[in-house]
Chain A
Amino acid sequence: MTPAGTGSAATAAVAASATVAAPAKKMIAKLVIDNESGSAWNCQFNPLNTSDNWYTNGYLYEPLYFVNSLQSNPDGSPKTTPWLATAYSWNADQTQVTFTIRQGVKWSDGQAFTADDVVYTFNALKNDAGADVQGLWTGASAKLTTVAKDTTDPNKVVFTFDKPAGIMFYYMADQQPIVPQHIFGATGVDQTKLETLPNSTPVGTGPLVMSVCEGTNMKFLRNTTYWQSTPDNTVPKVEEVDYPAFLSNDSANLVLHDSQAQWGGQFIQNIQSYYLDVSPNHHIWQPATANVTMYLNIAKDPLLAQKAVRQAISFAINRNDASNLGETGQELPSSQTGIVLPTFKGWYDSSIDTTVPGGDAAKAGQVLGAAGFTKGSDGIYADSKGKRLSFTIKSVQGFSDWDAAIQTIIASAKKAGIELKQQDEDNGTLVADLAAGNFQIAYNAAIGGPTPFYELRNDMDSGSFSNYGKYSNPAVDTLIAQYLKSTSITDQKAIVKQMAQIMNDDVPVIPVTEAADWFQYDTTSIDGWPTADNPYCQPAPWNIPDNMVLLTSIWGK
């Protein structure tokens, strides 16, 4: 993050689209979102509740700032756009940040949005761990100690942390939606269980207002008093948004295929023939900010505890096959350094990336031979005691693309004398097994963030929950501590480079393919979608709060 940021126009995010000599932008009568929800809508719109927030935040409730993981400033830090705040500034050691709150914003019930709402929102989370979804008051790296209005300027809010908190900016400014004090703080609302408030008639500041909700569809209308609107420029340029509930992937895909929905966030198996070839107006752009990763149980499996075995697997598996055959090219092959490309190319150093793309059976054999493994008569390597290199990969039932990718992994590992077997479990069971360390190898998406540091840390920090294999390396922990204290993007890049080097050389986990944000869009009557050339936000309908940026950026042709 840059130490200071100021915002001029709220619509800076769409500035890039203005470079084209634009025809008059029309209103879009209706936009249909297509994304498998897996269940009927429960018609509750509580932005503090984890099961509601992915269709509530951004659409109805907004954060202070928008952090774009896909666009960097020249120094490599992610680009930020002022939203409900107009500016922020850190103190020197980044333990305190002051936000200037935007004037003239109204809640959709007509009440004015003020700094009081911001102070209320953050302080409410303090007393309610269930609503503090971002862990702002409990975070291990840094946590809030006070949030209060500036004593001299009632329009500013000061956030104080116990430690340098640059890494918390993304969670507090981008991921945390602001809720209205006059509703959430009203008498009779249990302030220790805010996340259980049904909030079925939501009042937000967002570009949309909820109109009609039933199990099969949510209908939103344009927020006619939206703060970005000016007399000669209506924002958003969408009159109505429909969000039907799809219980299965196939039924959601069919609606996209039939051009009945314009904004999709779906995995489609044969996307070329099923979606792209159907209409010249069907397009996709599927950027990634994290990797789909093989987690290795280093703490419990004596073979995987050996670096040579981990390296051999990483050399053996062919990431190009996993990408092309498994993911039909929709997810790019990963780098063993853990840096997602091209998203974070500013953080990548090809000289330390010695593994990509893998599929190198000879190299794997060399590593294993040097470590004293010999090939048995069955073609599988074993150690001096005869213990074979045979592992089970656990994956998620029903993720057909992952299944296909794992089949290519099994095939390429076999060529290198390593036996892998696949076992699928339902999502909840797999996560429980990951948390309990009940696996040998597990295939799951890593947890990323707006810079590569977030994913590297989640995978390698000895104290991280998502370091499922319990990899522990004091050198990594020191680097992480340094990063958290640092306020300079140059230092941070140097630290990430060292972490990426350890990731490549020590193989704590094996990134296989990048985890794409599925995104399909229809240009028949709508323009201004985010693209690879203009990646103004993460594009899937469930990317919160990026969805609000997309909604306020598209227009009718």
Chain B
Amino acid sequence: MRFIVRRMGLFLLTLWVALTLNFIIPRLMPGDAALAMWSHIHNATPQQLKALEAMFGTANQNPILAYIAYVGNCLTLNFGVTTDQVPVMTKIMQGLPWTLGLVGVSTVIAFSLGTLVGMYGAWRRGSWSDNLISPLLFIVTTFPVFFLGLVILLIFGVELQWFPQNHPYSNPPGLTLESAADIIYHAVLPGLTLVLTASGGWIYTMRNNMIATLSEDYVRMARAKGLSSWRIMLNYSARNAILPNLTGFAMQVGFILGGSILIEYIYSYQGLGYLFYQGTESRDLPLQQALFLLYTMAVLVCVLVADLLTAWLDPRTRDA
């Protein structure tokens, strides 16, 4: 119980620090929403800048009052409207399903694929498949995600034209099979990029853990008992080796909401990552703050869950 109280206290403290940083950092960027919007207008005139400054109005308000209002807004989840006058929550709800779908599914696939390949690689270590697939995927993982994304886009989207180059869908999405196919078709390239860049890490840890557990006495015991290889691999070795990966995965879930800004940008995929890029570029403080808060909460909650999960799975960590 004391452990949980301490963890919750730490959680709240971290949240407050993160909230405060979220308030300060965007304000340190040069320029403001009026200037940012003005810079995007064709043949903009100085009069237009004045109108924009009048429209945004609050740019020069007292920072302490602004901070108090900001904390209040965070608590009530009232973020106001973006610089283009759309309610912030509307924008977030528009982007959320796409990011959850693309990045969430990719993360699960990358985790499953990486864990399976790592497990099988360790089991058959030294075999041609282990020598080929594990290092290959690990090399791909080290590519910067934007580089791999551009290469994949160039080959499959531009040259071969097998898959669409941008947008999450071509026709307005609906609850039909056709629409689902359309959405999946559009998600293939960005999804592939995310899976390729993320799975290597899971392979690496799973393979190492698995090699460690394979040399444990209880595995030797199982072999001595004459159990089938599959049973030893899955029930005796992998089951223990997967524990660190599971907590890692719980933490990774927190990063899903952040989307993958670069991938969403390259593929013009209108999820939260793209929204965040836009919010930053247009100095849209309400939008930036709401997204920051969302990301922070997601990561903090998942870390907390991972902590509690680890404590539950492994009693030794509870004193820490």
Interface residues of chain A, those whose CB is within 8 Å of chain B, are 38-40, 42, 44, 46, 49-52, 54, 128-135, 138-139, 171, 195-196, 198, 214-216, 246-248, 250-251, 254, 289-290, 426-433, 435-436, 438, 447-448, 458, 464-466, 540, 542-543
Contact between A133 and B282 (Cβ–Cβ < 8 Å)?
no
Contact between B43 and A290 (Cβ–Cβ < 8 Å)?
yes
Interface residues of chain B, those whose CB is within 8 Å of chain A, are 29-32, 35-52, 54-57, 81, 83-86, 94, 158, 165-167, 169-170, 172, 265, 268, 270, 274, 278, 281-283
In the bound assembly, the distance between CA atoms of A458 and B47 in angstroms comes to 11
Contact between A129 and B51 (Cβ–Cβ < 8 Å)?
yes
In the bound assembly, the distance between CA atoms of A438 and B166 in angstroms comes to 37
Contact between A246 and B268 (Cβ–Cβ < 8 Å)?
yes
Q: Which residues of A contact B42 (CB under 8 A)?
A: 54, 540, 542-543
Other than the given A50-B51, A542-B42, 13 more pairs (CB < 8 A) read A38-B278, A129-B50, A130-B55, A131-B55, A133-B51, A135-B47, A426-B281, A428-B283, A432-B30, A447-B44, A447-B46, A458-B46, A540-B42
Contact between A44 and B85 (Cβ–Cβ < 8 Å)?
yes
13 A-B contacts (beta carbon < 8 Å) = A51-B83, A131-B55, A195-B85, A247-B166, A250-B165, A251-B167, A426-B281, A428-B30, A428-B39, A464-B46, A465-B49, A543-B42, A543-B43
Contact between A466 and B282 (Cβ–Cβ < 8 Å)?
no
In the bound assembly, the distance between CA atoms of A141 and B171 in angstroms comes to 50
In the bound assembly, the distance between CA atoms of A128 and B50 in angstroms comes to 12
- Closest Cβ of chain B to A126, distance in Å, is 12
The residue from B40, B46, B86, B165 contacting A466, defined by CB atoms under 8 A apart: B46
Contact between A131 and B39 (Cβ–Cβ < 8 Å)?
no
Contact between A429 and B30 (Cβ–Cβ < 8 Å)?
yes
Knowing A40-B270, A431-B31, the reply to whether A130 touches B54 (Cβ < 8 A) is: yes
Knowing A39-B278, A139-B47, the reply to whether A50 touches B30 (Cβ < 8 A) is: no
- Closest Cβ of chain A to B235, distance in Å, is 48
Contact between B36 and A431 (Cβ–Cβ < 8 Å)?
yes
Contact between B47 and A435 (Cβ–Cβ < 8 Å)?
no
Q: Which residues of B contact A50 (CB under 8 A)?
A: 37-38, 41, 48, 51-52, 55
Q: Which residues of B contact A543 (CB under 8 A)?
A: 42-43
Which 5 A-B pairs have CB atoms at the shortest separation, nearest pair first?
A: A135-B47, A432-B31, A130-B55, A247-B268, A428-B36
Contact between A133 and B48 (Cβ–Cβ < 8 Å)?
yes
The winner among B42, B44, B56 for most chain A CB atoms within 10 A is B42
Contact between A135 and B94 (Cβ–Cβ < 8 Å)?
no
Q: Give B38's nearest chain A residue, CB to CB.
A: A431
Q: Which residues of A contact B45 (CB under 8 A)?
A: 134-135, 171, 447
In the bound assembly, the distance between CA atoms of A510 and B47 in angstroms comes to 23
Q: Which residues of A contact B170 (CB under 8 A)?
A: 216
- Closest Cβ of chain B to A73, distance in Å, is 22
Contact between A198 and B85 (Cβ–Cβ < 8 Å)?
yes
- Closest Cβ of chain B to A545, distance in Å, is 12
Q: Which residues of A contact B86 (CB under 8 A)?
A: 42, 44, 198
Contact between A430 and B39 (Cβ–Cβ < 8 Å)?
yes
Knowing A44-B86, A215-B94, the reply to whether A427 touches B281 (Cβ < 8 A) is: yes
Contact between B32 and A432 (Cβ–Cβ < 8 Å)?
yes
In the bound assembly, the distance between CA atoms of A347 and B137 in angstroms comes to 65
- Closest Cβ of chain A to B62, distance in Å, is 21
In the bound assembly, the distance between CA atoms of A229 and B283 in angstroms comes to 44
Q: Give B85's nearest chain A residue, CB to CB.
A: A196
In the bound assembly, the distance between CA atoms of A128 and B40 in angstroms comes to 22
Q: Which residues of A contact B44 (CB under 8 A)?
A: 447
Q: Give B44's nearest chain A residue, CB to CB.
A: A447
Knowing A40-B270, A195-B55, A543-B42, the reply to whether A133 touches B36 (Cβ < 8 A) is: no
- Closest Cβ of chain B to A122, distance in Å, is 14
Q: Give B153's nearest chain A residue, CB to CB.
A: A250
In the bound assembly, the distance between CA atoms of A447 and B44 in angstroms comes to 7
Contact between A248 and B51 (Cβ–Cβ < 8 Å)?
no
Q: Which residues of B contact A214 (CB under 8 A)?
A: 172
Q: Which residues of B contact A458 (CB under 8 A)?
A: 46
Q: Which residues of A contact B47 (CB under 8 A)?
A: 132-135, 138-139, 171
Q: Which residues of A contact B81 (CB under 8 A)?
A: 196
In the bound assembly, the distance between CA atoms of A46 and B84 in angstroms comes to 10
- Closest Cβ of chain A to B31, distance in Å, is 3
Contact between A251 and B166 (Cβ–Cβ < 8 Å)?
yes
Contact between A49 and B166 (Cβ–Cβ < 8 Å)?
no
- Closest Cβ of chain A to B165, distance in Å, is 6
The residue from B40, B55, B166 contacting A248, defined by CB atoms under 8 A apart: B166
Q: Which residues of B contact A44 (CB under 8 A)?
A: 84-86
Q: Give B54's nearest chain A residue, CB to CB.
A: A129
Q: Which residues of A contact B43 (CB under 8 A)?
A: 289-290, 447-448, 543
The residue from A131, A427, A429 contacting B51, defined by CB atoms under 8 A apart: A131
Knowing A129-B54, A215-B270, the reply to whether A428 touches B46 (Cβ < 8 A) is: no
- Closest Cβ of chain B to A175, distance in Å, is 9
- Closest Cβ of chain A to B151, distance in Å, is 14
Knowing A427-B36, A435-B35, the reply to whether A135 touches B85 (Cβ < 8 A) is: no
In the bound assembly, the distance between CA atoms of A40 and B39 in angstroms comes to 18
- Closest Cβ of chain B to A267, distance in Å, is 12
In the bound assembly, the distance between CA atoms of A438 and B35 in angstroms comes to 15
In the bound assembly, the distance between CA atoms of A131 and B56 in angstroms comes to 11
- Closest Cβ of chain A to B3, distance in Å, is 46
In the bound assembly, the distance between CA atoms of A171 and B265 in angstroms comes to 37
Contact between A431 and B54 (Cβ–Cβ < 8 Å)?
no
Q: Which residues of A contact B35 (CB under 8 A)?
A: 428, 431-432, 435
Q: Which residues of B contact A196 (CB under 8 A)?
A: 55, 81, 85
Q: Which residues of B contact A438 (CB under 8 A)?
A: 30
